[in-house]
């Protein structure tokens, strides 16, 4: 007998007992984005490697160390998408979605990064994202942040902190970068290996270092916000005023830079202290230059992505943990005639009550064993159909969760029985 094949490290199964929480999350998210007029968009999980090296940045950790990249049979370099904004931009350019148009879209699906697996972080992980194209003002920045806050409200999640910053324009970042490199170069002996590597390639990412030994050095570094021009400052101040007016609490974090090269001006993160070291639940910002960078016309853009596994972890630990849908009924079948008619009856009942969640016993079995299965299923009711009941056109209905005594009702009244119980 051969050795058991196991899942790849960092890639996990979503088991049936776990999926109801995912359904709850996805249903609530869909309700929110529909309410804001955003439309669903789905892109392939495989893209040309060039798409991500050009958009994310060749000297970022994702491109340098984390992407799943391989050559296909034609010799093309392909990559499993590590994030989805670049794919959405590619699809928008390719399908002419950005020319003189405003697009508000959302997406969901798996992403792939070869990272060290830890709580809430996997090598195949799921993201839900919201993006808006064609609008340059701070009002759309405010809207996408309000959408993210609305998610927490409908999910019943508390204790999330919004951190915001502005990275200014590319010209402002270039000038600031020179100041930062000059400052950090005087302390090379204190920098760790990652920071030394980034000093020449991507020095702003040093500000986002989680190394506690660098905390004071980073705190004393020049502040980008103090080197922004009037237009960038005005954009940021208008956003802050909008957040204040909408009652959104936030913290200005001058060291918040995000890990992807394409961000500029507004950046933000929702963070929590409930998930260990990986505290970011949702992150995003502006990427006005990305469409042009990938070959399209200049198009302002803003959006965010949130990690589904981390949100699920928060929901599981939440005091407001949702009560999930349970099975409505389990159909117990006793006798040869009842077994033959059972699936026919169930199909008719599902047609009459489209929201009914009904499980039919298959594989026969004694009354006792079937009843045990009914109880273990979590159903509210056991429906008991034997040959004698079938002859009388009746069925037994037994509450399994303390809702009264067993009774018999006419088969023709069964749909009405469930309809009166206000199935969701």
Q: What pLDDT does 17 receive?
A: 87
For residue 180, being part of any structural domain is answered with no
For residue 231, CA distances in Å to 172, 240, 242, 299 come to: 11, 14, 17, 18
Q: Sort strands 381-386 and 103-112 into parallel, antiparallel or unpaired.
A: unpaired
For residue 217, being part of any structural domain is answered with no
My answer on whether 309 and 336 are in the same domain is no
Q: What pLDDT does 131 receive?
A: 98
Q: What is the pLDDT of residues 391-402, one digit of tens each?
A: 999 999 999 987
Among candidate residues 102, 99, 163, 108, the one with its CA nearest the CA of residue 130: 108
Among candidate residues 340, 400, 411, 333, the one with its CA nearest the CA of residue 370: 333
Q: Report the C-alpha gap between 203 and 196 in whole angstroms.
A: 9
My answer on whether 299 and 363 are in the same domain is no
pLDDT tier, 423 (very low <50, low <70, confident <90, very high otherwise): low
pLDDT tier, 206 (very low <50, low <70, confident <90, very high otherwise): confident
Between 363 and 96, where is the model more confident?
96
Mean pLDDT across the chain: 89
Average pLDDT over residues 326-341: 91
Share of residues in the chain with pLDDT > 70 (%): 95
11-20, 236-245, 322-331, 377-386 — most confident range: 236-245
Query: Is a pLDDT exceeding 70 seen at residue 1?
Result: no
Q: Is 356 left (phi over 0), alpha (psi -120 to 50) or beta?
A: beta
For residue 57, being part of any structural domain is answered with yes
Among candidate residues 38, 266, 5, the one with its CA nearest the CA of residue 137: 266
My answer on whether 156 and 271 are in the same domain is yes
My answer on whether 308 and 287 are in the same domain is yes
My answer on whether 239 and 383 are in the same domain is no
Residues 6+ apart with CB under 8 A from 301: 89, 131, 132, 133, 134, 286, 287, 288, 290, 291
How many CA atoms does the CB half-sphere of 244 hold within 13 Å? 7
Q: Report the C-alpha gap between 379 and 124 in whole angstroms.
A: 33
Q: What pLDDT does 170 receive?
A: 85
My answer on whether 259 and 371 are in the same domain is no
Q: Report the C-alpha gap between 79 and 308 in whole angstroms.
A: 21
My answer on whether 251 and 344 are in the same domain is no
Q: What pLDDT does 228 receive?
A: 92
For residue 200, being part of any structural domain is answered with no
Q: Out of 9-23, 31-45, 109-123, 172-186, which region has the weakest mean confidence (pLDDT)?
A: 109-123
Q: What is the pLDDT of residues 261-291, one digit of tens each?
A: 678 899 999 999 877 665 889 999 999 989 9
Q: In total, how many domains does the chain have?
A: 2
For residue 90, being part of any structural domain is answered with yes
My answer on whether 241 and 280 are in the same domain is yes
Whose structure tokens read 């502006």? Answer: 286
For residue 211, being part of any structural domain is answered with no
Q: What pLDDT does 165 receive?
A: 94
Query: Is a pLDDT exceeding 60 seen at residue 99?
Result: yes
Q: Out of 97-101, 167-171, 204-208, which region has the weakest mean confidence (pLDDT)?
A: 204-208
My answer on whether 285 and 147 are in the same domain is yes
Query: What is the distance, to the nearest Å, from the Cα of residue 37 to the centroid of all Cα atoms in its chain?
Result: 18
Residues 6+ apart with CB under 8 A from 352: 415
Domain boundary among 268, 287, 317: 317
Give the three-class secondary structure for 331: strand
Kindly compute the dihedral angle of the four CA atoms of residues 19, 25, 28, 31, in this order, to the nearest 10 degrees.
Answer: -80
Query: Is a pLDDT exceeding 90 seen at residue 122?
Result: no
Instruction: Supply 309's token pair.
Output: 């596994």
| Contact (Cβ atoms closer than 8 angstroms) between residue 336 and residue 177 | no
What strands, in cross-sheet order, belong to the sheet with 77-80? 46-48, 77-80, 68-71
Domain boundary among 284, 317, 350: 317
114-128, 129-143, 282-296, 365-379 — most confident range: 129-143
Q: What pLDDT does 177 receive?
A: 85
Task: Kindly report the CATH number assigned to the domain that includes residue 234.
Answer: 3.30.930.10
Q: What pLDDT does 261 receive?
A: 65
Q: What pLDDT does 422 receive?
A: 56
How many CA atoms does the CB half-sphere of 253 hold within 13 Å? 18
Q: Report the C-alpha gap between 193 and 297 in whole angstroms.
A: 39
For residue 311, being part of any structural domain is answered with yes
How many CA atoms does the CB half-sphere of 53 hold within 13 Å? 11
My answer on whether 307 and 359 are in the same domain is no
My answer on whether 260 and 365 are in the same domain is no
| Contact (Cβ atoms closer than 8 angstroms) between residue 114 and residue 67 | yes
Instruction: Supply 310's token pair.
Output: 């981390």
Phi/psi at 122 (5° precision): -130, 170
My answer on whether 284 and 392 are in the same domain is no
Query: Is a pLDDT exceeding 60 seen at residue 25?
Result: yes
By residue range, what is the domain housing residue 271?
19-168+228-317
For residue 4, being part of any structural domain is answered with no
pLDDT tier, 201 (very low <50, low <70, confident <90, very high otherwise): confident
Query: Is a pLDDT exceeding 80 seen at residue 119?
Result: no
Phi/psi at 358 (5° precision): -125, 125
DSSP state of 205: G
Average pLDDT over residues 130-147: 97
Domain boundary among 297, 317, 337: 317
Q: What is the pLDDT of residues 48-95, one digit of tens each?
A: 999 998 887 655 666 767 899 999 999 999 999 999 999 999 999 999
Q: How long, in residues, is the chain? A: 424
Task: Report if pTM > 0.85.
Answer: yes
Query: Is a pLDDT exceeding 90 seen at residue 42?
Result: yes
Q: What pLDDT does 205 receive?
A: 79
Task: Kindly report the CATH number assigned to the domain that includes residue 383.
Answer: 3.40.50.800
Query: What is the distance, to the nearest Å, from the Cα of residue 243 to the centroid of all Cα atoms in its chain?
Result: 23
Average pLDDT over residues 217-238: 91
Phi/psi at 121 (5° precision): -135, 120
């Amino acid at each position: 007998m051969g050795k058991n094949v196991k899942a790849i490290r960092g890639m996990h199964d979503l088991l049936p007992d776990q999926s109801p929480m995912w359904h709850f999350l996805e249903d609530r998210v869909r309700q929110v984005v529909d309410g804001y007029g955003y439309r669903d968009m789905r892109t392939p999980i495989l893209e040309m490697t060039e798409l991500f090296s050009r958009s994310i940045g060749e000297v970022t950790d994702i491109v340098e160390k984390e992407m799943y990249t391989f050559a296909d049979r034609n010799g093309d370099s392909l990559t499993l998408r590590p994030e989805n904004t670049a794919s959405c931009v590619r699809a928008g350019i390719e399908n002419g979605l950005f020319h003189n148009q405003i697009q508000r879209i959302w997406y969901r699906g798996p992403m792939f990064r070869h990272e060290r697996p830890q709580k809430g972080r996997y090598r195949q992980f799921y993201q839900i994202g919201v993006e808006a194209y064609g609008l340059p003002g701070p009002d759309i920045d405010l809207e996408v942040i309000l959408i993210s806050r609305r998610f927490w409200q409908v999910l019943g999640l508390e204790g999330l902190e919004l951190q915001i910053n502005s990275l200014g324009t590319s010209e402002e970042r270039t000038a600031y970068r020179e100041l930062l490199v000059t400052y950090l170069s005087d302390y090379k002996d204190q920098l760790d290996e990652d920071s030394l590597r980034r000093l020449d390639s991507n020095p702003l990412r040093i500000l986002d270092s989680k190394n506690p030994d660098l905390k004071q050095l980073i705190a004393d570094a020049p502040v980008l916000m103090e080197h922004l021009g009037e237009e960038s400052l005005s954009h940021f101040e208008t956003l802050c005023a909008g957040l204040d007016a909408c009652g959104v609490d936030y913290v200005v974090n001058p060291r918040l830079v995000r890990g992807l090269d394409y961000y500029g001006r507004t950046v933000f993160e929702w963070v929590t202290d409930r998930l260990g070291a990986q505290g970011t639940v949702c992150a995003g910002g502006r990427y006005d230059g990305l469409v042009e960078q990938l070959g399209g016309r200049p198009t302002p853009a803003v959006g965010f992505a949130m990690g589904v596994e981390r949100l699920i972890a928060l929901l599981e630990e939440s005091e407001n943990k949702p009560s999930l849908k349970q099975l409505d009924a389990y159909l117990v079948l006793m006798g040869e005639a009842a077994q033959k008619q059972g699936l026919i009856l169930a199909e008719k009942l599902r047609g009459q009550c489209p929201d009914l969640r009904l499980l039919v016993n298959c594989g026969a079995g004694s009354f006792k064993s079937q009843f045990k299965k009914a109880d273990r299923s979590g159903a509210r009711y056991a429906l008991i159909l034997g040959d004698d009941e079938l002859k009388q056109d009746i069925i037994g209905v037994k509450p399994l969760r303390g809702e009264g005594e067993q009774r018999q009702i006419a088969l023709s009244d069964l749909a009405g029985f469930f309809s009166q119980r206000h199935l969701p």
